[in-house]
């Protein structure tokens, strides 16, 4: 048997930065999206949830092209050199991405056409394309086209005086081949029809289900294709094909050079719709000469073309889920629980003062957080409320409460992250509301996204000030709190309260803070603290003591952390990683990572919580955090990790971790070759962690 000392000696001869030990982050993302697609074809998942998962996979892929692929193409155009940790050049990464993405897209459409659409028909739901519109539906749909669609369409015939139009990012468009002469006697061969975003992408066939028959839905694209000839009177439509272009959507704001960050972001939002082109999608039957014409207009190459057998935007399937009111085809409804400490307790401050309270969303309700802010807004003893907002939604109840507090004369300070991707517009609107109410609104720190999840309430009690805190792993967003798994801790611990005071002082005045007492913070202490704790587990293992590490997160790609995990594995530490999405670490490599196991939990809820557990020779440490193990989270964001110190709460989260590790139905296990294998029950009964947690929430 090889001793820990011998293993450590062997590690000295291994280059832990060798490309063979790293998985490409872009390809790892595509494997994550494959797992979403796997749920769309899983017969154990309710039918409309499968439709929703297919929509989610399409949305994920859109963002991947808008941000990640766009970034690689931009670097390539600027002549950037260097390779990814797995040794691939930019060109090699793009080639691998297109090959994998093309196969994934083809699979998505096979699932839609061969599995989901027939299953929907069997369930009495007909999803019609242009070829499936029968005579019985035609008259009603033609009226719908004439009354609702045609008035907002502006077809553009192409000629030398009318250049190819600007096409918005991800908008629905048609290229139309014509024969004949226009109103001015000229030959017109091509036209472009752009469909406004204001039109619903899936509609009910008017009157089709009024007699108790099947529900009939139709794609807007099918309606336009069927009746597009009415836009070109006197000419013959020889063909009509959908297309969609995806553009670079990453905002570029030189924060060091702008005087007003909010106005700069507002300016960039207008340009996002027309960023550089990165992908073209067309109908599979679009003629080759027209696809080449479109590629030329967008300055894209053959690898950027995706021809699909169906609607060019599967995101629109989300509308099917919303339009069909069938409880039997969706996940069963559930009522989130309320922590026992809050049940029958009108005074949340008294409950928190008595003992820390842990929330686990969505199994437990988001309502206590809203109640906490509302009570603070109305309590005459509360002097100040301070909060960070990263994503909160455009109609946030949390913001409503903060506005109420500001209007009531409380000192309200809100750190809003304007650069929260795709939520910038909503955050600008919320900032304006808060400022109008008299709140102090800050936009975070230039160059560092404020991603920490913090609320601090300052209350006068018995002649002194007491701080009440909420720290969490997820956003203050009531809707996503029903879909994302996250932890939140209520506490009035003096040290944590002082730490939050110092953090808000740092974020508002940019002053240096003293060393934090209990919290860990990026970009200053979190990375180094984790490195030290991983090394400490390795030292315990080398000394012959039990050593274990469990970490749950959304992504793991930071090279120094990965290297430290390899070293700990070789020292004898048992390591379980629950990584929902991207993972660049390669598990199960003899002599490098044989004691590391990586799993991804997928299912009804989006696994979003970040938890770090260290056995520490029996003196256990457990942290919850806003940060994934990525370079951006460690070095380019303001993040916070908080300890869970109360014994029962810590035991509860450790139990949750063991529950995720026991899942044998919705867990995918990462293999040494970078592929994922879905776990299946063996002799043991099927076990779903998310279902178990749903059933367990009432205990607390």
Q: Are residues 507 and 529 in the same domain?
A: no
Residue 475 inside a domain? The answer is yes
Q: Are residues 353 and 442 in the same domain?
A: yes
Residue 382 inside a domain? The answer is yes
The residues that are catalytic are: 451
Residue 336 inside a domain? The answer is no
Q: Are residues 528 and 504 in the same domain?
A: no
Q: Which of 58-72, 140-154, 422-436, 668-682 has the lowest mean pLDDT?
A: 422-436
Phi, psi of 454 (to 5 degrees): -140, 140
Q: Which residue has the tokens 């905002």?
A: 251
For residue 590, is pLDDT > 90? yes
Instruction: Name the 3-class secondary structure at 671.
Output: coil
- Find the domain containing 140 and state its range: 25-329
- Residues 298/273, Cβ–Cβ less than 8 Å: no
Which of these three, 329, 359, 388, is where a domain ends? 329
Q: What is the mean pLDDT of residues 519-528?
A: 97
**Of the candidates 127, 284, 311, the residue with the CA atom closest to the CA atom of residue 205:** 127
Which tokens sit at 517? 């007492």
Which CATH number does the domain housing residue 47 bear? 3.30.1840.10
**Of the candidates 252, 246, 245, the residue with the CA atom closest to the CA atom of residue 268:** 252
Q: Are residues 127 and 87 in the same domain?
A: yes
Q: What is the mean pLDDT of residues 321-328?
A: 94
Q: Which residues contact 253 (CB under 8 A, 6 or more apart)?
A: 261, 264, 265, 268, 419
Q: What is the mean pLDDT of residues 676-700?
A: 87
CA–CA dist 496, 502 (Å, integer)? 10
Residue 334 inside a domain? The answer is no
Q: Are residues 534 and 510 in the same domain?
A: no
- Residues 348/371, Cβ–Cβ less than 8 Å: yes
Residue 3 inside a domain? The answer is no
- Which range of 139-153, 262-276, 426-440 scores highest in mean pLDDT? It is 139-153
Burial code (b: 16+ CB inside 10 Å, e: under 16) for 204-235 equals bbeebbeeeeebbbbbbbbbbbbbbeebbeeb
Q: Where are the alpha helices (DSSP H) in 281-347?
A: 288-298, 317-323
Residue 564 inside a domain? The answer is yes
Residue 657 inside a domain? The answer is yes
For residue 185, is pLDDT > 80? no
Q: What is the mean pLDDT of residues 263-286?
A: 72
Q: Is the dihedral angle over the CA atoms 560, 566, 568, 573 positive or is it negative? A: positive
Cis peptide before 421 (omega within 30 of 0): no
**Of the candidates 156, 281, 150, the residue with the CA atom closest to the CA atom of residue 223:** 150
Residue 12 inside a domain? The answer is no
Q: Are residues 57 and 171 in the same domain?
A: yes
Which CATH number does the domain housing residue 454 bear? 3.30.870.10
> Could you tell me the CA-to-CA distances from 546 to 33, 134, 198, 647 in Å, in that order?
36, 69, 60, 20
Phi, psi of 210 (to 5 degrees): -75, -20
Q: What is the mean pLDDT of residues 96-108?
A: 97
Amino acid 513: pLDDT: 78
Q: Are residues 415 and 446 in the same domain?
A: yes
Q: How many domains does the chain have?
A: 3
- Residues 209/129, Cβ–Cβ less than 8 Å: no
């Amino acid at each position: 048997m090889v001793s820990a000392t011998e293993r450590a000696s062997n590690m000295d001869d291994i280059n832990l930065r060798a490309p063979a030990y790293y998985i490409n982050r872009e390809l790892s993302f595509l494997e994550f999206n494959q797992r979403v697609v796997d749920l769309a074809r899983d017969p154990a998942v309710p039918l409309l949830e499968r439709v929703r998962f297919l929509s989610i996979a399409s949305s994920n892929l859109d963002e991947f092209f808008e941000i990640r692929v766009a970034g690689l193409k931009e670097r390539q155009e600027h002549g950037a050199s260097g390779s990814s940790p797995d040794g691939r050049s930019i060109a090699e990464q793009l080639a691998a991405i297109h090959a994998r993405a093309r196969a994934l897209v083809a699979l998505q459409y096979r699932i839609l056409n061969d599995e989901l659409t027939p299953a929907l028909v069997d369930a009495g739901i007909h999803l019609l394309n242009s070829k499936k519109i029968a005579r019985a539906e035609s008259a009603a749909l033609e009226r719908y086209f004439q009354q609702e669609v045609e008035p907002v369409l502006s077809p553009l015939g192409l000629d030398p005086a009318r250049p190819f139009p600007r096409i918005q990012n991800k908008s629905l468009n048609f290229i139309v081949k014509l024969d004949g002469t226009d109103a001015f006697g000229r030959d017109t061969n091509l036209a472009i029809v752009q469909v406004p975003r204001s039109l619903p992408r899936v509609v009910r066939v008017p009157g089709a289900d009024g007699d108790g028959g099947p529900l009939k839905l139709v794609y807007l694209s099918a309606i336009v294709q069927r009746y597009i000839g009415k836009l070109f009177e006197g000419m013959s439509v020889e063909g009509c094909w959908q297309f969609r272009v995806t553009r670079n959507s990453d905002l570029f704001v030189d924060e060091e050079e702008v005087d007003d960050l909010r106005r700069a972001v507002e300016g960039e939002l207008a340009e996002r719709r027309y960023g550089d082109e990165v992908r073209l999608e067309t109908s599979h039957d679009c003629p080759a000469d027209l696809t080449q014409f479109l590629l030329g207009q967008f300055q894209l190459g053959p690898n950027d073309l995706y021809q699909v057998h169906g609607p060019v935007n599967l995101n629109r399937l989300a509308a099917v889920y919303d339009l069909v009111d069938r409880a039997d085809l969706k996940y069963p409804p559930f009522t989130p629980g309320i922590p026992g400490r809050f049940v029958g307790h009108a005074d949340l401050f008294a409950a928190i003062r008595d003992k820390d309270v842990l929330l686990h969303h969505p199994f437990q309700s988001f309502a206590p957080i809203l109640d906490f802010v509302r009570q603070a807004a109305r309590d005459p003893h509360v002097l100040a409320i301070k909060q960070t907002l990263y994503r909160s939604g455009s109609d946030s109840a949390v913001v409503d409460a903060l506005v109420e507090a500001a209007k009531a004369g409380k000192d309200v300070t809100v750190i809003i992250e304007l650069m929260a991707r795709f939520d910038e517009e909503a955050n600008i609107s919320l900032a304006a509301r808060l400022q109008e109410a008299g709140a102090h609104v800050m936009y975070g720190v230039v160059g560092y996204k404020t991603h920490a999840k913090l609320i601090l309430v300052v209350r006068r009690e018995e002649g002194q000030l007491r701080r009440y805190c909420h720290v969490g792993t997820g956003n203050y967003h009531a809707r996503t709190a029903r879909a994302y798994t996250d932890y939140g801790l209520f506490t009035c611990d003096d040290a944590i309260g002082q730490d939050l005071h110092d953090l808000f002082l740092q974020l508002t005045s940019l002053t240096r803070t003293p060393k934090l007492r209990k919290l860990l913070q990026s970009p200053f202490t979190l990375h180094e603290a984790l490195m030290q704790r991983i090394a400490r587990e390795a030292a315990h293992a080398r000394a012959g003591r039990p050593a274990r590490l469990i970490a749950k997160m959304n992504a793991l790609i930071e090279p120094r952390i990965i290297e430290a995990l390899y070293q700990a594995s070789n020292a004898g530490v048992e390591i379980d990683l629950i990584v929902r999405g991207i993972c660049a670490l390669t598990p199960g490599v003899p002599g490098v990572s044989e004691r590391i196991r990586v799993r991804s939990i997928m299912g009804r809820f989006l696994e979003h919580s970040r938890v770090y557990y260290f056995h520490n020779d029996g003196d256990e440490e457990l942290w919850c955090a806003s940060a994934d193990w990525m370079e951006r989270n460690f070095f380019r964001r303001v993040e916070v990790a908080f300890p869970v110190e109360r014994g029962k709460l810590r035991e509860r989260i450790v139990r949750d971790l063991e529950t995720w590790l026991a899942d044998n139905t919705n867990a995918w296990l990462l293999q040494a070759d970078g592929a994922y294998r879905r776990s299946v029950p063996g002799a043991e009964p099927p076990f779903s962690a998310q279902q178990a947690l749903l059933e367990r929430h009432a205990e607390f």
